[in-house]
Amino acid sequence: MTPPCDDGGMCSLDVPGGAEIGAMSAAELEAAAREFDQVRRRTEAAIATYLANVERCGAHQDDGHRSITAWGRAAANWSSGEASRLARLGRAMDRLPTFGRAARNGDIGVAQMHALAAVVANPRVDAHLDASEQMLVDHARTLEHDDFVIVLRHWESLADEDGTHRAQERAHQRRRAHLGIHGERAYLDAVGGAAHGALMREIFDRFRSAEWQAEWQRGVDQHGDQMKLSLMERTNDQRNFDTIIAIFQAAAGSTAAGGEIVVNILIDDDTFQHHLARALGAAPTPLDPAGLGRRRCETDRGVVLDPSDVVTAACLGHVRRVVLDSAGVVTDLGRRSRLFTGPLRDAVLLTDRRCLWPGCDRPVNQCEADHTLPYANAGPTNTHNGGPTCSHHNRWKTRGYTTRRDANGRWHTYRPDGTEIGWPILHRALAA
């Protein structure tokens, strides 16, 4: 039965109640969530299309509104940001018909729609949009949101090479830091380029992990088996500040936690050679954004970098070579040493940016290299049979769950009954 809305009317969606949810299987719960999301996707696309049509006809000017954004604020009580994003999405769907059809069909998530629309709004990429439209739409359909955003950053950096480089260079030139003490409070504020930020992030995470482990062990010593997260001494914010203190103290003593800290930078050969040639004064043919494919220039955690910075780092010997095959599996790894024990474990963790379990955003530096086909079942110990799994989901796999990587490098996770977890099951035909 369709439940009543708060205003006494009838809602258009049949929302399961507590008793119904309790009787549903995990697969049925996910299916219901996807049905709701389909409605949300199509509604968002329909509103954006409507706005584009109103703007194209100039109908929003009838009551004296100067822009479609102002009309949206008046007509539907949207915030300025909300109205602007919807209007931008409508223009992008109008500019890219394939994108518009896929969005209206519910094939693309709401967040992915707006991420693509933001890139389409860059006038300097317009000349490359027609050739790349199908590729971008396919990625929007099949990739997880965070991975799709990284793909968009790479594509935009290729389509607007000079603009992206200028933005990176501007961030570096405008780098600043301030450490001030006002009364009883100290303030640390720093802004700079992504390349240096990636190194700082690695160092910060290493020290923060050490702080957490030490604090947990103190709790175990005090509470024994009763130790739990709620008994930790500090909040996350307090621990983060203490991590900064630990880094400064370590620098004062010329020490580092866990040995040498290295940032892995993954860059494909075409991109590297292109920017190396530019650095040497040549004028190579611009890279084609439509051929994005496996092109990468990022840290192993997905921080997109300016290729010019990577070339400079390579010349200084700060980059470890990482070669990936068509499925994104590491096939060759340079000799640069790291904290992780063994290059094979490094190779497995470099394959992805986060835990392979659907919906888990635990970064790879907090994961273990795990056998896809269990070692006990004769699973080989090589990169093709390995993937990053956080400690929580590593234990969960012992309950009969299985994982595999398809030919496109996408992970699939199955329940003991054989049903698949998560949204990729909706795109089997496209991924095949």
Average pLDDT over residues 197-209: 88
Task: Give the three-state DSSP class for 182.
Answer: strand
Question: How confident is the model at residue 268, as a pLDDT?
Answer: 78
Separation CA 215–CA 229 (nearest Å) = 10
- Confidence band of 81 (pLDDT split at 50, 70, 90): very high
| 176 has pLDDT over 70 | yes
Task: Name the nearest CA neighbour of 51 among 93, 17, 87.
Answer: 87
Contact 265, 230 (CB under 8 A): no
- Tokens 């986060």 belong to 354
Residue ranges in 160-303 assigned as alpha helix (H) = 161-173, 194-223, 236-252, 269-279
What separation in angstroms does the CA of 375 have from each of 246, 364, 378, 386?
39, 21, 5, 10
Question: How confident is the model at residue 353, as a pLDDT?
Answer: 80
| 104 has pLDDT over 80 | yes
Average pLDDT over residues 251-271: 67
| 10 has pLDDT over 50 | no
Question: How confident is the model at residue 430, as a pLDDT?
Answer: 45
Question: Could you tell me which residue, 226 or 168, shows the higher pLDDT?
Answer: 226
Question: How confident is the model at residue 344, as a pLDDT?
Answer: 61
DSSP string, 74-110: HHH---HHHHHHHHHHHHHHHH-HHHHHHHHTT-S-H
Residues above pLDDT 90, as percent of the chain: 28
Average pLDDT over residues 202-206: 89
Question: How confident is the model at residue 330, as a pLDDT?
Answer: 64
Separation CA 46–CA 59 (nearest Å) = 17
Separation CA 236–CA 229 (nearest Å) = 11
Inter-axis angle of helices 97-104 and 26-57, to 10 degrees?
Answer: 130
pLDDT, tens digit, 9 for 90 and up, residues 281-314: 788 888 887 766 667 788 777 777 888 877 776 6
End-to-end Cα, the chain, rounded Å? 39
Q: Which amino acid is at 268?
A: D
Average pLDDT over residues 54-58: 91
Separation CA 40–CA 82 (nearest Å) = 15
Question: How confident is the model at residue 211, as a pLDDT?
Answer: 92
Average pLDDT over residues 81-94: 95
What lies within 8 Å, CB to CB, of 160 at 6+ separation is 122, 124, 125
Question: DSSP E strands: which ranges in 310-415?
Answer: 322-324, 330-333, 367-371, 386-390, 402-405, 411-414
Tokens of 365: 């530096």
Is this prediction's pTM over 0.85? no
Average pLDDT over residues 243-259: 72
Contact 92, 116 (CB under 8 A): yes
- Tokens 């003593």 belong to 253
Question: Could you tell me which residue, 325 or 63, shows the higher pLDDT?
Answer: 63
Question: How confident is the model at residue 49, as a pLDDT?
Answer: 96
Question: How confident is the model at residue 397, as a pLDDT?
Answer: 73
Average pLDDT over residues 16-33: 88
pLDDT, tens digit, 9 for 90 and up, residues 121-175: 999 999 999 999 999 999 999 888 988 998 898 898 888 877 777 777 788 888 8
**Number of helices and strands (H, E) in the chain?**
16, 10
Residues above pLDDT 70, as percent of the chain: 79
Question: How confident is the model at residue 2, as a pLDDT?
Answer: 41
Task: Name the nearest CA neighbour of 85 among 75, 95, 73.
Answer: 73
Average pLDDT over residues 240-256: 79
Separation CA 50–CA 309 (nearest Å) = 43
Question: How confident is the model at residue 331, as a pLDDT?
Answer: 58
Tokens of 144: 């997880």
User: How many Cα atoms sit within 13 Å of 243 on the Cβ side?
Assistant: 23
Task: Name the nearest CA neighbour of 152 among 193, 111, 127, 115.
Answer: 115
What separation in angstroms does the CA of 57 have from each of 21, 68, 82?
46, 11, 21
Contact 112, 144 (CB under 8 A): no
pLDDT, tens digit, 9 for 90 and up, residues 331-387: 555 544 333 346 666 776 777 788 888 888 888 878 877 776 654 454 555 556 678
pLDDT, tens digit, 9 for 90 and up, residues 376-419: 454 555 556 678 888 888 777 777 788 888 877 788 888 888 88
What separation in angstroms does the CA of 21 have from each of 16, 17, 18, 27, 30?
6, 6, 5, 12, 11
Separation CA 349–CA 339 (nearest Å) = 13
Average pLDDT over residues 170-195: 84
Domain ranges of the chain: 18-170, 191-252, 265-431
Separation CA 114–CA 92 (nearest Å) = 9
Contact 232, 220 (CB under 8 A): no
Separation CA 313–CA 337 (nearest Å) = 16
| 4 has pLDDT over 50 | no
Report the mean per-residue pLDDT for the chain: 80
Burial class for 203, CB neighbours closer than 10 Å (0-12, 13-18, 19+): middle
Question: How confident is the model at residue 276, as a pLDDT?
Answer: 80
Average pLDDT over residues 80-92: 94
